[in-house]
C-alpha cells in the first residue's frame, strides 16, 4: 500500500522537557522538513541520510523558532518504512507547537493517534503483534510486562504464530489435492499424518494459552487485600511491604477506618496492595462503613492476606475473618512473633480445616517480610510456566484468537475421526488459519485495524 499524504505530530509527551521531537513521515517528509530548517550561516547545505544536522527551525515568515537538530531517515530504513524527518527542539510547548504548525502549513497533515505505527504495519515493516507490543511497552508499569512486550517487538511471538500458520498451510495444500478428486476419501496414511500434525499445533496453542492467565496478571497486576480483626498489624504489614509510612499505626484498635491502597512491585510483578479496616462489631458510623469496604474488597481480591496476632488466642472475630478465605487464594500471617506466642501454625490450620501457606512475622522488628513477598509471588507464578519465559500472551485479543484456532483445530480432528469429506476438513483448517492470521494481522478487517491503532497515543 502507498500513502499519498505526509503526516506530522509531536512525538514527545506534552509538558516541559530537555528536548521535544516533531516527527514527519511520508513521501514529502524531506521536502517539507527542508522548508522549516536553515543551516547555520556558512555551513554546508545538504542533508545526509541518518545524520543529525545542527541548525535552526524557522516559521513561515522566516523568523527563528528554535535551535534544533534535524535528522532524515530515508525509506525504507525508518520507523514507518517511509521517509522520516525528526526535528529535535527544546522541549517546550511553544517551540514544539510552532514547529508543528509550520510543518503543517508547508503541506503535511496532522497525524492521528498511532498513525506512524499503523504505517509501519501497513508498509509491512512490523506485524500486528509487534505494533501492539510497542504500545504495551510504552504503557508498561512493571519490568516484567516491559520485557515481554520487548520480546514481542523482537518478533518472538510472531515467529511462533507464523510457524503454526505455515504448517497449517502445508496441510491445506495436502488436503486440497484430495479435494480435486472428490470421489476419493482422504487416504488413511494422510489422515494419520494430518492428525499428528494438528495435534502438535494444538499443543503449541495450548501452551501459549496457559501463559495467558499469568499474562493477564502481569498486565493488570494482582490485587492483594490485607484482612484481619483490629490491632493485629495489618497497617504495619502494608507499611513493611511498601517500605513507607503509608498507613497510621497505633496500639488503638480501629485505627484504620478506610481502605488504603498502594502499588508495589514484587520481582517485576505489579501488586496492588490494600489495607483495610479491622473487622469487628462496632457502633461507630464511620468505622462501620470502613468495615463494609473491607468486605467489598474481600470479594474483588485476587489474594487475601490474613493477619493474626500470634500472641493472643483466636477471637470470634478472627474466626469470622478466617471464613472469608475459604474459597479464595490466601495466605495467613502469624504476626508479633517477638512476643510470647499462643498460636501455632498447626493449630490455625486445624481450625481452618484446609491447608494454606503460613508465614511468621514480627513487623515491629522487620522480620519475615521477604518470606511474605515470596509467598505472594509463588501464589501466582509457580507451576508449569517457566519463570522468565518471555513469550507470553498478554493481550486479550490474542488470547481469544488462539482459543478460536484451538476450537477449529479440534473440529479438524473430530472431522477426521468421523471420516468427513476433505472439503469439510478444509473449512476448519481455513478458520484456524484465519484466527491465527488475526493475531499477526494477516487476516484482519480494516475496522479492527483502525480500532487497534486508535487506542495508541498521539505521535506514536
Q: Residue numbers of the site for ligand GTP (CB under 6 A)?
A: 228, 230-236, 249-251, 253-256, 278, 335-336, 338-339, 362-364
Tell me which stretch binds Mg ion (CB under 5 A): 148-156, 219-227, 228-236, 258-266.
228-236
Cis bond before residue 76 (omega within 30° of 0)? yes
Comparison of 236 and 399: residue with beta carbon closer to ligand GTP: 236
DSSP E strand boundaries for 288-422: 303-309, 330-335, 358-361
143, 159 Cβ separation under 8 angstroms: no
Residues with Cβ within 8 Å of 380's Cβ and at least 6 positions away in sequence, in order, are 214, 217, 222, 269, 302, 303
What does DSSP assign to residue 367? B
Comparison of 233 and 437: residue with beta carbon closer to ligand GTP: 233
Residue, CB closest to ligand GTP = 278
Among 158, 211, 235, 335, binds Mg ion (CB under 5 A): 235
Tell me which stretch binds Mg ion (CB under 5 A): 155-163, 187-195, 233-241, 301-309.
233-241
| CB of residue 334 to ligand GTP, shortest distance in Å | 10
Q: How far apart are CA 140 and CA 252, in angstroms?
A: 40
Crossing angle of the two packed helices 156-179 and 188-220, in degrees rounded to 10: 150
Comparison of 28 and 336: residue with beta carbon closer to ligand GTP: 336
Tell me which stretch binds Mg ion (CB under 5 A): 199-207, 229-237, 266-274, 424-432.
229-237
Comparison of 78 and 361: residue with beta carbon closer to Mg ion: 361
| CB of residue 259 to ligand GTP, shortest distance in Å | 11
Q: How far apart are CA 382 and CA 390, in angstroms?
A: 15
Instruction: Provide the β-strand partners of residue 222.
Output: 271
Residue 27 interaction partner, one of Mg ion, ligand GTP, none, beta carbon < 5-8 Å per kind:
none
| CB of residue 283 to ligand GTP, shortest distance in Å | 16
- Stretch 404-423 residues interacting with Mg ion (CB under 5 A): none
Comparison of 83 and 275: residue with beta carbon closer to Mg ion: 275
Comparison of 240 and 401: residue with beta carbon closer to ligand GTP: 240
User: What values do phi and psi take at 286, rounded to 5?
Assistant: -65, -45
Among 256, 297, 306, 435, binds Mg ion (CB under 5 A): 256
| CB of residue 344 to Mg ion, shortest distance in Å | 25
240, 363 Cβ separation under 8 angstroms: yes
Comparison of 55 and 254: residue with beta carbon closer to ligand GTP: 254
Bridging pattern class, strands 84-91 and 17-25 = antiparallel
Region of 143 (left: φ > 0; alpha: ψ -120 to 50; beta: rest) is alpha
Comparison of 218 and 249: residue with beta carbon closer to ligand GTP: 249
Count of Cβ atoms closer than 10 Å to residue 12 Cβ: 17
| CB of residue 368 to ligand GTP, shortest distance in Å | 9
Residue 253 interaction partner, one of Mg ion, ligand GTP, none, beta carbon < 5-8 Å per kind:
ligand GTP
Q: Which of 400, 11, 418 shows the shortest CA–CA distance to 215?
A: 400
Comparison of 211 and 235: residue with beta carbon closer to ligand GTP: 235
Instruction: Provide the β-strand partners of residue 264.
Output: 271
Residues with Cβ within 8 Å of 274's Cβ and at least 6 positions away in sequence, in order, are 223, 224, 225, 226, 259, 260, 261, 297, 301
User: What values do phi and psi take at 222, rounded to 5?
Assistant: -110, 135
Tell me which stretch binds Mg ion (CB under 5 A): 60-68, 80-88, 231-239, 327-335.
231-239
| CB of residue 273 to Mg ion, shortest distance in Å | 13
Tell me which stretch binds Mg ion (CB under 5 A): 102-110, 179-187, 211-219, 226-234.
226-234
Residue 305 interaction partner, one of Mg ion, ligand GTP, none, beta carbon < 5-8 Å per kind:
none
Q: Which of 374, 368, 357, 343 shows the shortest CA–CA distance to 304?
A: 357
Bridging pattern class, strands 303-309 and 269-275 = unpaired
Residues within the interface to Mg ion (CB under 5 A) = 234-235, 255-256
Amino acid at each position: 500500500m502507498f500513502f499519498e499524504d505526509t503526516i506530522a505530530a509531536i512525538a514527545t509527551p506534552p509538558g516541559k522537557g530537555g528536548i521535544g521531537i516533531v516527527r514527519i513521515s511520508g513521501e514529502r517528509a524531506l521536502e517539507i522538513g527542508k522548508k522549516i530548517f536553515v543551516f547555520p550561516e556558512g555551513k554546508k547545505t545538504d542533508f545526509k541520510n541518518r545524520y543529525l544536522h545542527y541548525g535552526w527551525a524557522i516559521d513561515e515568515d522566516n523568523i527563528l523558532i528554535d535551535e534544533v537538530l534535524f535528522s532524515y531517515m530515508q525509506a525504507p530504513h525508518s520507523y514507518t518504512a517511509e521517509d522520516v524527518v525528526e526535528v529535535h527542539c527544546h522541549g517546550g510547548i511553544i517551540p514544539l507547537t510552532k514547529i508543528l504548525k509550520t510543518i503543517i502549513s508547508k503541506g503535511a497533515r496532522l497525524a492521528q493517534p498511532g498513525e506512524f505505527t499503523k504505517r509501519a504495519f501497513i508498509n509491512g515493516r512490523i506485524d500486528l503483534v509487534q505494533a501492539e507490543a510497542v504500545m504495551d511497552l510504552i504503557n508498561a508499569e512493571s519490568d516484567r510486562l516491559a520485557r515481554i512486550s520487548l520480546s514481542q517487538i523482537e518478533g518472538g511471538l510472531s515467529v511462533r504464530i507464523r510457524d503454526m500458520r505455515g504448517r497449517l498451510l502445508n496441510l491445506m495444500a495436502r488436503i486440497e489435492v484430495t479435494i480435486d478428486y472428490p470421489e476419493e476419501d482422504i487416504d488413511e496414511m494422510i489422515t494419520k499424518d494430518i492428525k499428528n500434525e494438528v495435534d502438535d499445533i494444538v499443543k503449541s496453542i495450548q501452551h501459549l494459552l496457559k501463559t495467558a492467565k499469568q499474562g493477564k496478571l502481569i498486565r493488570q497486576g494482582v490485587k492483594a487485600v490485607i484482612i484481619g480483626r483490629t490491632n493485629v498489624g495489618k497497617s504495619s504489614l502494608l507499611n513493611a511491604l511498601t517500605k513507607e509510612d503509608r498507613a497510621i499505626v497505633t496500639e488503638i484498635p480501629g485505627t484504620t477506618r478506610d481502605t488504603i491502597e498502594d502499588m508495589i512491585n514484587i520481582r517485576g510483578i505489579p501488586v496492588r496492595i490494600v489495607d483495610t479496616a479491622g473487622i469487628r462489631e462496632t457502633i461507630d458510623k464511620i468505622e462501620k462503613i470502613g468495615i463494609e469496604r473491607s468486605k467489598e474488597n474481600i470479594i474483588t481480591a485476587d489474594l487475601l492476606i490474613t493477619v493474626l496476632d500470634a500472641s493472643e488466642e483466636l477471637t470470634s472475630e478472627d474466626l469470622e475473618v478466617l471464613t472469608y478465605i475459604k474459597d479464595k487464594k490466601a495466605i495467613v500471617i502469624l504476626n508479633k512473633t517477638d512476643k510470647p506466642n499462643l498460636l501455632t501454625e498447626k493449630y490455625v490450620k486445624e481450625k481452618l480445616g484446609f491447608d494454606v501457606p503460613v508465614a511468621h512475622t514480627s513487623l515491629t522488628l522487620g522480620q519475615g517480610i521477604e518470606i511474605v513477598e515470596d509467598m505472594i509471588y509463588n501464589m501466582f507464578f509457580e507451576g508449569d510456566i517457566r519463570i522468565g519465559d518471555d513469550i507470553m500472551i498478554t493481550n486479550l485479543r490474542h488470547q481469544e484468537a488462539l482459543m478460536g484456532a484451538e476450537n477449529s483445530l479440534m473440529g479438524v480432528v473430530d472431522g477426521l475421526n468421523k471420516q468427513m469429506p476433505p472439503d469439510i476438513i478444509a473449512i476448519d483448517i481455513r478458520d484456524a488459519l484465519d484466527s491465527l492470521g488475526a493475531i499477526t494481522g494477516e487476516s484482519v478487517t480494516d475496522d479492527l485495524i483502525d480500532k487497534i491503532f486508535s487506542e495508541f497515543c498521539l505521535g506514536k
